[in-house]
Chains A and B, each alone.
Chain A
Amino acid sequence: MKKITKNLFVLSLLVFGLQSCSEDNDRPEMINEEEVITSVRVTLTSGNETVSMSSVDLDGDGPNPPVVNVQGNLGSNKTYTGSIRFLNEAESPAEEITEEVAEEADEHQVFYTFSGGISSVIATDTDSNSNPLGLTFNLTTNDAGNATLGFTLRHEPKKPNAGILDAGGETDVEVLFNVVVE
């Protein structure tokens, strides 16, 4: 019986010995979240005219709200060609996340919400299944006035869909700009 006890001890020592290799824990590595989108940059052009907008949130899920900036006013009754970019500007150099979205076009879609002086926003690019992707679009204005323009990037929405409420999926980006149509 003593032998059994002894064997038990040896066995357990062996197991504990194997299991107790712990991690070196002096100073943990800093994590820079690569896939975080800190910035949305929208450019609208019509001829020589360019209107640009940005929403930048460098602290991500920190307490500071995004800084929203709109440069220039839209002209009335015009059509603009637009593009939207997603970046991680907490890194240097900034990481272009637009490319990753484009690579996985069939798992993403940019949705538009608008009101006031904007009459339509329509995607001009498609994914491999000919469903809209929305990184580039045409925007049409009508009469002068205030307008809002919102962009929502959804990951894994239902495709095709009948608009944002039908699409499901998860929201990666949701921004809203207040613009003036003059």
Chain B
Amino acid sequence: MKYRLLFMVFLVFESVYSQDCHLSLRGKVIDQHDKKPLEGAIISIFGTKKQVLSNSEGVFVLQGLCEGFYELEVSHLNCGTQFITLQMDNNLEKTFYLEHHVEELNEVALVKKRESTPSEQSLNAAVLDNSAAQNFAEALSQIQGVSTLKTGNSIAKPLIQGMLGSRVITHNQGVRMQDMEWGEEHAPNIATSSIEGVSLAVGAKALKYGSDAVGGVIVLDPRKPVFANKQRHEFIWAGQTNGKGVLGSYKLDKDFENGAFYGLQFAFKKSGNNLNSQGYLMNTGLEQTNLSIPLGWHKANKGIDVYFSFFKANNGILRNAHIGNIQDLINQINGNVTSDYGAFNYEIENPRQDVSHFLAKISTYYHIPSFGKWTFQYDYQRNRRKEFDIRLGDRNKLPGVDLQLTTHGFQSLLKLDTTNDKLVEFGWSTDYQLHYPNPATGVKRLIPDYNSLNMGAFVYGSKTLSNALSLEATIRTHNIRINADKYYKSSRWEALDYIEDFSSFVVEEFDFQILTAPKLNFQTISAALSLHYNKKEHKFHTNVQYIERAPNPAELFSEGLHHSAARIELGSLRMQKEKATKLGFQYQYLTDKRSVWLAPYLNLISDYMALIPTGVEYTIRGAFPVWEYQQTNARFTGVDFKWTEYFSKGIQMTNGWSVVKALDLKRNTAFPNIPPVNTHHELEKSFDKLPGLSFQVTGQYHFKQNEVPDNLTIYNPSTQSNQTLEINRAPNGFFLLSSVVEYQFPKSGNSQYKLRLSADNLTNLAYQNYLNRLRYFSNELGRNIQLQLQINF
């Protein structure tokens, strides 16, 4: 039926063409926000091949139009798309306003000029290129309010306003990354050099991307066409002294005038044992490879996008962080054991982590005339994580952990054609997920076999109330079914009081184990409201949101000894969803001379799922503290602040602060892994006479975290005395100095060269970082000097 309709539309246009057509439309495209003309806006007439671009004054002319009814699509790279219907009787002149900032507020990623529109919550391609050699979480921490929780040096997770893991969604190329994000030692499987732009979404906009994002949504921009015949290459080569690391990255972008494009991106990274101020840290090398291929074809009314990416990393884990029992850990923490330093090499031995991620997606959109734009997407992901431990004999070659997570995602989005001042979107999604822990490890499964079906839907609406005031709202609901097959230890099943409560899950009982098939179902509802108010150079954003998050597999099913942390971790089948109410306020002041960003927030979470130490159990390996996932009430408060002054003579100064306080309201204590107060001060100088040259010096100070949970007291049978395990002792504050010299050569022909020399930890400071899970075992890295060459042509 739809096709027949379409056919009729074509027929109508065909007949229109046969008329005498001499009318013209002269238009001007204006950025609604700053009233400046928009260059490069694409104006096309629906159903025809007519398409023009606006010039530098924002002006375009469409000629040879006939009398009658036309539907125009006006779109711009940085803006949304607008559909306008026009009745042509005479030659027309018309002005079109594109909603640049309402559409992309809080998620502006393709920043045109750093000086004019710094978005405090995003990183553009240039910043990301400079960070190509860093891991994703570290690159992201350049956004005020984002920290990293590290395991050693190569594995890092982003922490947003004190939250991580399942509470932070990474949305890559329109696909929610499904990558075992529940593990503290599992980093997002993203290579920094593969990203075009990244932003932090908040409020109503963020809720469009998915549920669970109590902490925030990291949005990685998909590739967009430029509608011109263009071919671009980018080479990045970087070498660094610490770990004798190298990075090589190549990116090809090919675009055609008709809206088709393809690309190819490849990066390889390798480094050996890292050096701190005392010596080489044994087994801290890493190897990382990634490949991605975007392709697509965008027309005014329809289009298709395809994306493939493969990521693989092999991370060595600090050799002397490998411990057998709590006594080993006490010895380490109390400093009874001197750290082992070895020689430099590139070998990665056990213990190590081997992860891979494959992603494929296909999405299409089609604009149904006078109705809306409909998008459909299918994505496929496979995430595999292997951990190799130090084991007896030949078992060294077998991973101790071997997990595979396969996800099939379907989503559909409908953006209604509406007037200029409002926007309505509907979306639904279905994710089917299969988790398979390989039994060949010979080690009890960390996370059991399960499959889950997650179905969700949302409605989003935005409305411009006046030139200054606009409003956005999203409501979202999900139904999550989890079917697991899990062997519990019989003694554990009994100790957790599951015998009576969950007898219906029992499939079969064996000598020491019990096979169960838990079937769980969660229903969540979340809503967010954002209010934006602009007055000249002042912008105010208020976000109110209520987000429900269903428990993740670790919170439900963990059972047993975590060798790397020397603790027994227990999930709970009794877990209920957690409910977060967040009030966030953002103030932005922006002129040519000054940029100020101030963002306080309050996040109240009831039934907050936290891993809490509850006691000690004794095994033949010794004593182990027991950490249980429990539900408590939590309060997160904080503020992010950033001030940049642009002085004359190319001098620029920035000062930033992040403060977050987290309190367990039920037990009246702090939570672990909360970033301490930190501040950084940046000074940048560029030269009018020598454009392209710039210097930058940055000093950052991380205070000591004063709010830590209590330490554990453990009875040591060997010495028959109580011992304190100072697992929550926070290291002292530290001041790090870094600097950058950068020179961008004058463009010669099509090619552009950029040379960048940077140095981190200039003073070679010996320090420990509270946000490193391996801080007990070694100091952080010493001085690192990096040289990076970038060629674009």
Contacts and interface: CB of A to CB of B under 8 A. Distances in A.
B623 to A, nearest CB: 8
A148 interface: yes
A57 B337 CA distance: 29
B393 A66 contact: no
A94 interface: no
Given A1-B297, A30-B513, A59-B489, A173 B620 contact: yes
B192 to A, nearest CB: 25
Interface stretch (B131-139, B319-327, B582-590): B319-327
A29 B260 CA distance: 49
A15 B310 CA distance: 13
A31 B489 contact: no
Interface string B463-506: 00000000000000000000001010111100100000000000
Given A5-B304, A38-B620, A23 B492 contact: no
A62 B297 CA distance: 57
A107 B362 CA distance: 52
A174 B382 CA distance: 40
Size range of the chain A interface in the assembly: 35 or more
Contacts of B336: 165
Given A170-B322, A172-B324, A19 B304 contact: no
Nearest to A35: B392
Contact of A28 (B392, B448, B617): B448
Interface string A52-76: 0001111111111110000000000
Contacts of A150: 717-718
Interface in B104-134: none
A139 interface: no
B439 A174 contact: no
Nearest to A166: B337
A28 B492 contact: no
B260 A4 contact: yes
Contacts of A57: 619-620
A65 B618 contact: yes
Nearest to B511: A90
Nearest to A12: B362
Contacts of A61: 489, 560-561, 568, 617, 619, 621, 624
Given A12-B362, A63-B492, A154 B324 contact: yes
A37 interface: yes
Contacts of A172: 324, 621
Nearest to A90: B512
Given A60-B489, A61-B561, A66-B618, A25 B439 contact: no
Given A4-B297, A20-B408, A28-B449, A35 B492 contact: no
Contact of A22 (B360, B434, B485): B434
B337 A35 contact: no
Contacts of B295: 8
Contacts of A15: 308, 360
Given A16-B360, A176-B717, A171 B434 contact: no
B436 interface: yes
A33 B444 CA distance: 7
Interface string B420-464: 000000000000001011010111110011010000000000000
A168 B620 contact: no
Interface in B609-625: 617-622, 624
A23 B327 contact: no
Contacts of B620: 37-40, 55-57, 60, 66, 173-175
B512 to A, nearest CB: 6
Size range of the chain B interface in the assembly: 35 or more
B720 interface: yes
A11 B392 CA distance: 45
Interface string B701-722: 0000000000000000110100
A69 to B, nearest CB: 13
Contacts of A59: 489-492, 512
A65 B439 CA distance: 26
B358 A148 contact: no
Which of B340, B507, B512 has most chain A Cβ within 10 Å?
B512
A15 to B, nearest CB: 6
Given A27-B485, A28-B449, A34-B442, A1 B622 contact: no
A35 B621 CA distance: 13
A61 B621 CA distance: 9
A23 B435 CA distance: 10
Contacts of B511: 90
B222 to A, nearest CB: 16
B495 to A, nearest CB: 4
A105 B327 CA distance: 22
A170 B260 contact: no
A117 B338 CA distance: 32
Contacts of A23: 404, 434, 436
B759 interface: no
Contacts of A176: 717-718
A101 B392 CA distance: 8
B682 interface: no
Nearest to A5: B304
B457 to A, nearest CB: 24
B406 interface: yes
B395 interface: yes
A91 to B, nearest CB: 10
Contact of A25 (B325, B331, B449, B507): B449
B718 A170 contact: no
Contacts of B439: 28-29, 31
Which of B391, B448, B718 has most chain A Cβ within 10 Å?
B718
Interface of A: 1, 4-5, 8-9, 11-12, 15-16, 19-20, 22-23, 25, 27-31, 33-35, 37-40, 55-66, 90, 97, 100-101, 103-104, 113, 148, 150, 152, 154-156, 158, 165-166, 168-176
17 contacts: A8-B306, A12-B360, A25-B485, A27-B507, A31-B487, A33-B442, A39-B620, A56-B620, A63-B491, A64-B491, A65-B619, A150-B718, A152-B718, A155-B324, A165-B331, A170-B390, A176-B717
What are the 3 A-B residue pairs with the smallest beta carbon separation, nearest first?
A: A170-B324, A171-B324, A174-B622
Interface of B: 258, 260, 295, 297, 304, 306, 308, 320, 322-325, 327-328, 331, 336-337, 340, 358, 360, 362, 378, 380, 382, 390-393, 395, 404, 406, 408, 434, 436-437, 439, 441-445, 448-449, 451, 485, 487, 489-492, 495, 507, 510-513, 515, 560-561, 568, 617-622, 624, 717-718, 720
